Amino acid sequence: MRLMTAAAAIVFAGLAILGFLAVGYALAGFAIVTAAAFLATRGGEAVGRRARPTSVSERADDPLQVVIANLPDPVIALDGDGRVLALNERARSLAPALRQGEPVSLALRMPELIEAIGRAYARGEEQRIEYSDHVPLDRWFETVVVPVSRRANLNKPDLILMIFHDLTPLRRVEEMRADFIANASHELRTPLAALSGFIETLQGSARDDAKARERFLAIMQEQARRMARLIDDLLSLSRIELNAHRRPDTPVDLVPIVRQVVDGLETLARDRGVTVHVAAEGALTVLGDRDELVRVFENLIENALKYGAAGKRVDITVTQAVSTEGETEALIGVRDYGPGIAPEHLPRLTERFYRVDVSESRAQGGTGLGLALVKHILNRHRGRLSIESVLGEGATFTVHLPAPGTPP
Ligand SMILES: Nc1ncnc2c1ncn2[C@@H]1O[C@H](COP(=O)(O)OP(=O)(O)O)[C@@H](O)[C@H]1O
Ligand SMILES: [Mg+2]
């Protein structure tokens, strides 16, 4: 209103100076415009309070609306009567029934939220509540309800801000961590129970049985080794996770690494009656951590030798190609001709402790952490693992690593 009055003053003063209007007429005109502006403002306020509390927010330049629209979390502003004054797109997608000007209680189904708004309004204090929604998906939220008095002399808040924090990703991480600890403890407890059992037997009934003692000690040794492998893998996983954000920056040639791993697994290959073929030419350099890459190829080739032994052959290829994004990639393929993997298992294979057949994995000395390690190491190298398999025809595990500066 002040702006309008000032503008009118300038216009009428200007007209008077230019001689278009007598000074008296100019003053009268100015008075009329000022009064009209004053009445319009008062009228707007009066009408607004009774029937249309949203008139303020419907203006595109309304600061409240502009601020709320640009906040990264879902936010709803209510007037003192619990009607929606303003909301952003994120709040709209959370509760599509919300309408400006309508009571918020019509659109929000959570009774605990409505109660929190009531308390915030009555006590003039911030309220925080957590709640979960299960339709269409499980989601968790924390909502902060902040009462605001926009003028100093109000004894009741005339604005309520509701700010929603999506706790779902946090909850998922918490669940995963709890699952992981439960799984790891279970995996450790099994060999531990076997060890305790054999110790008791050796102390009791088998005390003087030299033959049984030999046999039991061999089993105990294997169980102890299994626990050691498990702890090794768990420690490696946590170490790699700690370094996940630091991308390795040492140039390493993949070809000798792959050959070295194959040489190291020669005994295993011979035991399983599998021939390993390596197709690699020249050098293929990536930025990497040598020890971690050794671990990747060890895991993949060992899996192929163990689970794909029936195919009698494992083919390893080291090549480079241009990805669909136009970047040069080093590709290391490990192909076996064993039983293959059913498609429903493929997406879960890199999860910790996920195994197609737990007893088969245990019999092979597996921990269920090999492919999880592979995935984490490749993530750190900004690479990835792809798996293809046809049941009965074997499986191909392909490592993709960015290979900068070496065009094919
Ligand atoms: N080449 C393969 N052929 C068939 N199944 C495989 C192959 N590689 C991995 N798998 C399956 O994926 C599971 C997970 O592998 P991994 O994470 O290395 O754990 P582990 O070998 O310790 O069991 C294995 O238990 C096995 O069921
Ligand atoms: Mg493995």
Q: Is 58 contained in some domain?
A: no
Determine the distance separating the centroid of ligand 1 and the alpha carbon of 285, expressed in angstroms: 28
Q: What is the pLDDT of residues 248-267, one digit of tens each?
A: 999 999 999 999 999 999 99
Determine the distance separating the centroid of ligand 1 and the alpha carbon of 340, expressed in angstroms: 10
Kindly state the helix (H) or strand (E) to which residue 303 belongs, with its residue range. helix 290-307
Same domain membership, residue 129 and residue 71: yes
pLDDT surpasses 90 at 235: yes
Same domain membership, residue 153 and residue 29: no
Ligand 1 close to Cβ of residue 302 (< 6 A): no
Atom of ligand 1 nearest to the CA of 338: 3
Question: Domain residues for 28?
Answer: 2-50
Tokens 């890199």, located at residue = 350
Same domain membership, residue 220 and residue 141: no
Q: Domain ends where: 242, 257, 291?
A: 242
Average pLDDT in the 330-341 region?
A: 97
Average pLDDT in the 289-310 region?
A: 97
Bridge partners of residue 389, in order along the sequence: 395
Same domain membership, residue 206 and residue 231: yes
> So what's the pLDDT on residue 325?
83
Residue 119 sits in a domain of what CATH number?
Answer: 3.30.450.20
Whole-angstrom distance, CA of residue 112 vs CA of residue 114 = 6
> So what's the pLDDT on residue 400?
97
Same domain membership, residue 93 and residue 138: yes
Kindly give, in sequence order, each residue whose CB lies less than 8 Å from that of residue 172, ignoring residues fewer than 6 positions away.
Answer: none
> So what's the pLDDT on residue 60?
58
> So what's the pLDDT on residue 151?
82
Q: Is 268 contained in some domain?
A: yes
Average pLDDT in the 211-221 region?
A: 94
- State the DSSP string of 91-149: HHHH-TT--TTSBGGGT---HHHHHHHHHHHHH---EEEEEEE-SSS-EEEEEEEEEE-
Same domain membership, residue 391 and residue 257: yes
Ligand nearest to the CA of 369: 1
Q: Is 55 contained in some domain?
A: no
Same domain membership, residue 381 and residue 298: yes
Tell me, rounded to whole angstroms, the distance of Cα 255 from its chain centroid. 34
Q: Is 316 contained in some domain?
A: yes
Ligand nearest to the CA of 333: 1
Q: How confident is the model at residue 57 (pLDDT cuts 50, 70, 90)?
A: very low
Average pLDDT in the 327-354 region?
A: 96
Q: Domain ends where: 213, 242, 271?
A: 242
> So what's the pLDDT on residue 129?
94
> So what's the pLDDT on residue 32?
38
- State the DSSP string of 47-71: HHHHT-TTTTTTSTT-HHHHHHHT-
Q: Domain ends where: 198, 215, 242?
A: 242
> So what's the pLDDT on residue 155?
79
Q: Is 57 contained in some domain?
A: no
Ligand 1 close to Cβ of residue 341 (< 6 A): yes
Q: What is the pLDDT of residues 10-29, one digit of tens each?
A: 444 444 444 444 444 444 44
Average pLDDT in the 325-348 region?
A: 95
Average pLDDT in the 296-302 region?
A: 98
Q: How confident is the model at residue 59 (pLDDT cuts 50, 70, 90)?
A: low
Same domain membership, residue 140 and residue 109: yes
Q: Is 56 contained in some domain?
A: no
Same domain membership, residue 221 and residue 279: no
Mean pLDDT computed over every residue of the chain: 85
Determine the distance separating the centroid of ligand 1 and the alpha carbon of 212, expressed in angstroms: 33
Q: How confident is the model at residue 404 (pLDDT cuts 50, 70, 90)?
A: confident
> So what's the pLDDT on residue 137?
82
Ligand 1 close to Cβ of residue 303 (< 6 A): yes
Same domain membership, residue 342 and residue 218: no
Q: What is the pLDDT of residues 145-179, one digit of tens each?
A: 999 988 877 778 889 999 999 999 999 999 989 99
Residue 392 sits in a domain of what CATH number?
Answer: 3.30.565.10
Q: Is 394 contained in some domain?
A: yes
Atom of ligand 1 nearest to the CA of 373: 17
Ligand 1 close to Cβ of residue 370 (< 6 A): yes
Ligand 1 close to Cβ of residue 336 (< 6 A): yes
Whole-angstrom distance, CA of residue 309 vs CA of residue 94 = 52
Query: In a 3-state reduction of DSSP, which class is residue 346?
Result: helix
Residue 205 sits in a domain of what CATH number?
Answer: 1.10.287.130
Average pLDDT in the 58-86 region?
A: 87
Helix axis angle, 2-17 to 23-50, nearest 10°: 160
> So what's the pLDDT on residue 27?
42
pLDDT surpasses 60 at 406: no
Q: What is the pLDDT of residues 101-146, one digit of tens each?
A: 999 988 888 889 999 999 999 999 999 999 888 877 888 999 999 9
Give yes or no for a cis peptide into 136 (omega within 30° of 0): yes
The residue to mutate among 231, 314, 361, having the most atoms of ligand 1 within 8 angstroms of its beta carbon, is 361
Q: Is 116 contained in some domain?
A: yes
Give the sign of the dihedral formed by CA 98, CA 104, CA 107, CA 113: positive
pLDDT surpasses 60 at 273: yes
> So what's the pLDDT on residue 126?
95
Residues lying with their CB under 5 A of ligand 2, a single-atom ion: 303, 366, 370
pLDDT surpasses 90 at 376: yes
Minimum mean pLDDT range among 68-72, 131-135, 207-211: 131-135
Burial (CB count <10 Å: 0-12, 13-18, 19+), residue 139: middle
Q: What is the dihedral of CA 7, 8, 9, 13, to 10 degrees?
A: 110
Burial (CB count <10 Å: 0-12, 13-18, 19+), residue 130: exposed
Number of domains the chain contains: 4
> So what's the pLDDT on residue 109?
80
Ligand 1 close to Cβ of residue 357 (< 6 A): yes
Minimum mean pLDDT range among 12-16, 184-188, 356-360: 12-16
Average pLDDT in the 264-273 region?
A: 97
Same domain membership, residue 253 and residue 342: yes
Ligand 1 close to Cβ of residue 301 (< 6 A): no
Same domain membership, residue 351 and residue 393: yes
Determine the distance separating the centroid of ligand 1 and the alpha carbon of 336, expressed in angstroms: 12
pLDDT surpasses 80 at 297: yes
Q: How confident is the model at residue 331 (pLDDT cuts 50, 70, 90)?
A: very high
Q: How confident is the model at residue 281 (pLDDT cuts 50, 70, 90)?
A: confident
Model pTM?
Answer: 0.70
